[in-house]
Chains A and B, each alone.
Chain A
C-alpha cells in the first residue's frame, strides 16, 4: 500500500476518476451536425445544438453502439433499458439550460479494468458505470476584455462518462488507469483518446484518510486533459488536504481547478454557487431499449484487447512481460510487431521493434503510423541476419539506411555490397595477411598472452570492412594460431 508520510503519521490517498471520452462518430449525439475538431466558430451547429425554440433531439445509433462496445470492452453489464435525463443548470455554453445525460439508469453498469504498474504488478480497478451525455460548447475568456465568447461547435457532441470506483491509491495508479482506459478505447475505436484536443478529459476525485479509516471528504478537480497534470494535481491536492487535516482543519467538499502554471489546485469560482441539478427524465425522448441480439452482434466484432494480446504475445512469441506490455499499449505497434515477428524469432523481433525502430522514430519525432521502415522490410532485415547474409552489426547499418530511404534490406545489402563473407579461403587469406603483418603480436600470443586473440579478430574484421562472418574468423584464426 502506498502511503504518504505526514507530520502526524501515515495517510492514504483515495482517488476516483470520471473520464469524459468523446465518442467517435460522424455526427452529434442528438443532431446531424458534424463532430470534426477545429472548425470555424459556430459552423458545426444545428438548430438543435443552439437550442432554438421548438427543436427536438433524435438519438444517433452509432453513439449508442459505441457506448455498448465500450461497455463490453470494460467487461461491464449492458443495461438493455436505460433512460436519458435532463441535468438542469445555467451556463453560457449550455444552450438548452440543461444537459441531456443519464442519471439513474445508465446504458452500462459495473465493469472493471486491469492496470499495469511500474513495478510490473497489476491491479484490478472497478468501473462503477458508463453513460452517454452531451458535451457543452466552449467559452473563450481571452478574446475580449469584458466579454466571454461562446462557440457551440462542441455542443451536443456525444461523450461517454466512465466512472471508476474509488479504487485508486496513488498518482501512479491514476495515471496507469487513464493509460489503460485510453488504450482500450483506442483498441475499440470508440474514442481517439486525444487528450490535447480534449477528446479525453478527467475529473479527479481526491480524498485522504488514515490507512483503514473510512473515506474522507473529497474534492473534485475538474477537466484535466494531460497525464502529467493529473499526476501533479493529485500529488498537490493530497498534500494540501493532509496539511489542512494535520493543522486540525476540515476539508470542504468542493470543485477545484488545477492551475497548470503554478502547479496548484484552487476553488473554481463559477462552481461556488450551490447546485441543484433537478434531474428528471427528458420528456422529448423515450427510454432506450436495446435488442439483446444487437448487443451480441457488437460483442462478436470486439477486437482482441490489450490484456489478452499481451498474454498471447508472451505465450506465442516468448517475449518479456514488460516488452509485451509496451508493444500492446497501442494497437498499431502491436500489429507492427506481430507482422515482424510472425514466423520469425519473437525475441529478436521485439528487440528490433522496441530498440532500433522505436529509438529511430523517437529521434526523428515520428510515430509508428508513418514509420519509413515497414513491418515487412524490418522482417526482411531480420531474415538476413538469421540466414547469415549479414551480421548483427552490419544489420544496424542496413537499418539506418532503410530508415533513411525506405528501401528494403536486400536492395541495400546488394547495392552497398554488405553481404557477409563466408568464403573460408577468402577469410583465411585475410587472417594470413594479419598474421604476416604482426609477427611481434604472434610472438606474444605464443608466449601466453591469450587476450590478444580478440585483437586479431578485430583486425581481421576491420580488414574485411566488417563483412567477414565473425564466427568463421574466430574459428580460422584459432586453427592458424595452433600451427
Chain B
C-alpha cells in the first residue's frame, strides 16, 4: 500500500493538523517508508491468535457510585486560553 499526497492530506485533516505543502511532501516519503517497513508483519501467521490489548490480565475494576469529585470550576478553567463567564469558548460553531 502506497500513500499519495492526497491521502496524506486527508489524514492530516482527520488528525486536525495544518501542515505546510513542504511538510506534506516530505511526509509522503516518510510515511511510505514506515509503512513499507511494517509490511513485514504480513509474514506472521496470526490465524486464531487473539489481539493483545493490554499487558494486564485482570478484569475491569469498578468503583462505587459516589460523588467524590468536581465542584471546582476555577481549577477547571485555570489554564483555559479564553474562558468567559465560567465557560470555555471556541470560535462560533454553526450546527
Contact = CB atoms under 8 A, between A and B. Distances in A.
Contacts of B82: 147
Contacts of A26: 65-67
Nearest to A139: B93
A288 B67 contact: no
A405 to B, nearest CB: 41
Nearest to A285: B60
Contacts of B71: 33-34, 43-44
B63 A59 contact: yes
A418 interface: no
B89 interface: yes
Interface of A: 25-27, 31-34, 40-50, 58-64, 83-84, 90, 92, 139-141, 143-152, 257, 268-270, 276, 278, 281, 283, 285-289
A45 B92 contact: no
Given A147-B89, A283-B54, A49 B60 contact: no
Contacts of B62: 59-61, 64
Contacts of B73: 40-43, 45
B14 A276 contact: yes
Interface in B66-95: 66-71, 73, 75-77, 82, 84-95
Contacts of A281: 53
Report the contact-size class of chain B (Cβ under 8 Å from the partner).
Answer: 35 or more
A112 to B, nearest CB: 28
A147 B91 contact: yes
Given A43-B73, A152-B76, A281-B53, A141 B95 contact: yes
B23 interface: no
A270 B60 contact: no
A63 B65 contact: yes
A143 B14 CA distance: 29
Given A141-B95, A150-B89, A257-B95, A44 B53 contact: no
Contacts of A48: 69
A208 to B, nearest CB: 26
B92 A58 contact: no
A148 B84 contact: no
Nearest to B54: A286
Given A61-B65, A90-B16, A139-B93, A45 B70 contact: yes
A27 B67 contact: yes
Contacts of B89: 144, 147-150
Sort A-B residue pairs by CB-CB distance and give the 10 closest, nearest first: A33-B70, A62-B65, A32-B68, A32-B69, A61-B62, A149-B87, A289-B59, A46-B69, A150-B88, A41-B86
Nearest to A288: B60
A92 B93 CA distance: 9
Nearest to B75: A47
B95 A34 contact: no
